[in-house]
Structure formats: structure tokens, C-alpha cells
Amino acid sequence: MTSAADAVGGALREFGEELTAARAAQVGGAFTDDPRADDFLKASPEAFLIGVLFTQGVRAERAWAAPWALRERLGHLDMRRLADEPEAVAAAVASPPALHRFVGTLPRWISSAARRLLDSYGGDATRIWAAGSGVAEVTARLEAFDGIGRKKAAMTVEILRRHFGVDLIDEQCGRVAYDVHVRRVFLRSGLVDSDTPEAVQQAARRASPACPGLLDLPAWLVGRQWCRPQSPECEACRLGEVCARRVDLGVRGVGVRGAGGPQSSGRKSSPEGSLG
């Protein structure tokens, strides 16, 4: 890693440590700007798990508000009923305004997740991430749910550790999600020269050997707030003083809107410029 990349890694690590100390949710202390939805999400592990399913292809705030909205529409967020009444779930998700862009896929994931939660965890989502479990173990358990791939699992593990203070063990804590914002920031800042999952993970491990996942939220926030696909704001950016500012670069392919179906999207997607 070059000294310039070292500086970027250091700046992201420092930002990550600040966010951890603040027990940041996703955007500041909140997941969503509706306080009732935010409180519900934080109080109910099952709502949080359902929220994870929604974190794809829509703004994070909208995704995290969905479990509350779903409960309001259904009159419950009972796992047994979510599993046994898929038509009701589908209608609740799709009725205007729809809770998500993927009105066909999300309800299937929700009913499937509720079934899996009942069958494998007695309906208690905290058993997925029971204290003392390893990061790899929890990641694998999450990835076994329909609608949770590597990216969402990585994000979820980081939120569990950072915000909820879940005590997971492992030598290397977590990894960064291969998310469009994270990828764009890694590429433009010079942390990576190629936009591949392997390069991104490797760069995160080099920048933060003890805890690669520490870089996940800071990179995502930088990408969302300043390093947007078009018109990045380098002067205002948290990484502005150390970044290589390769603003002609962008990401495309997996996770970028228009590049594929719901399975190919991520924490949320954004249109991108060309890869340069």
C-alpha cells in the first residue's frame, strides 16, 4: 500500500473509531428519520432482521422504516403469521405507497425469513447473533436467509457490533460490505486500483488489520454524502486532504442500479458514471 493509501486508510479508521464510540446506527444515531420506526427497529431484533431484508435498492432511511410500516399495515409483526400468511404480507408491502421497489421479491423474503426464524431460532432473532458467537458463524447464519447475501451480512454484522454492542468473537472483526458507495470511495481514493470484491477486502484488511469491518460505515457515509457518482464534493469531503481524488472513476456492474435484478443490488444502489 502506498503512503497516500495509508493516509486514506488512517482517515477512514479514525472516522470509523468515532462512529463506533458514538454507537452510530447508520446515519448518525438513527436508522431512519421516523422516530417511531427507529425506536421500533432498535427495540425489536426481529424487526431489525426484517429491516435488513429491505436494505437494498432504496434509500437506507426508507428501508429501515419498513418494518414499522409493515406492522402498521398488518396490525402485527408476528413471525408465525408472517410465515403463514404470505398473501397478506405481499399485499401490505405492495399497497400504495409501496414499501419497496421489489414488491414481488421482498414479501417472499419476509415470509421465508419468518419461517426460518421460527424453525431454526425459536422465533428469536437474537439467537442468530448470540453473544460469544464468531463473526464468521453469524455471517454464515445470516447468509442462510433468503435475501441476505455477503454484502448485507457484512453490513449487519457491523451494525450488531457497532450500534447494538453485540459481543462477537474473532481475530479479525468483520469485513466491509461490497457496496456501491464503499467501492466508489475505495476506488477514487486510491485504496484500490480495481473494483473487485477481493481487492476491496484486501485493502480493508491492510488499512485496518485488526478490524477491517471498521471501515465499512465510514466509507459508506463518505460515498453517500460527498463522493457521489456525479459531482463529488472533494473540498468538503472528510477524506479531502488525503484522497487521490480520482473522480473520473466510478463503479458499475454488481449492485449498481440498472445492472441487474434485486439479488444484484446492495445496501442501496445509485447510478454511476463510467469506470474510466
Nearer to ligand SF4, 10 or 104 (CB): 10
Q: How far is the CB of 65 from ligand SF4 (least distance, A)?
A: 28
> 236 CB contacts (<8 Å, ≥6 apart)?
226
C-alpha of 148 from chain center: 10
Contact status: 191 vs ligand SF4 (CB under 6 A): no
Options 187, 211, 227, 256; binder of ligand SF4; rule CB under 6 A: 227
Is residue 180 involved in binding ligand SF4 (CB under 6 A)? no
214 lies in the binding site for ligand SF4 (CB under 6 A): no
247 binds ligand SF4 (CB under 6 A): yes
User: Counting contacts by CB under 6 A, is residue 232 touching ligand SF4?
Assistant: yes
Nearer to ligand SF4, 138 or 222 (CB): 222
Question: CA 15, CA 36: separation in Å to the nearest integer?
Answer: 28
> Are 272 and 232 in contact, with CB atoms under 8 Å apart?
no
Nearer Cβ to ligand SF4 (174/229): 229
Q: What angle do CA 79, 122, 62 make, to 5 degrees?
A: 40
Instruction: Tell me the per-residue interface mask from 133 to 172 with ligand SF4, x by CB under 6 A, - otherwise.
Output: ----------------------------------------
Q: What is d(CA 214, CA 230) in angstroms, rounded to the nearest whole number?
A: 26
How many alpha carbons fall within 13 Å on the CB side of residue 62? 13
Tell me which DSSP letter residue 215 carries: G
Minimum CB distance to ligand SF4, residue 10 (Å): 14
C-alpha to C-alpha distance for 240 and 12, rounded to whole angstroms: 11
Residues in contact with ligand SF4 by the rule CB under 6 A = 185, 188-189, 222, 226-227, 232-234, 237, 239-240, 243, 245, 247
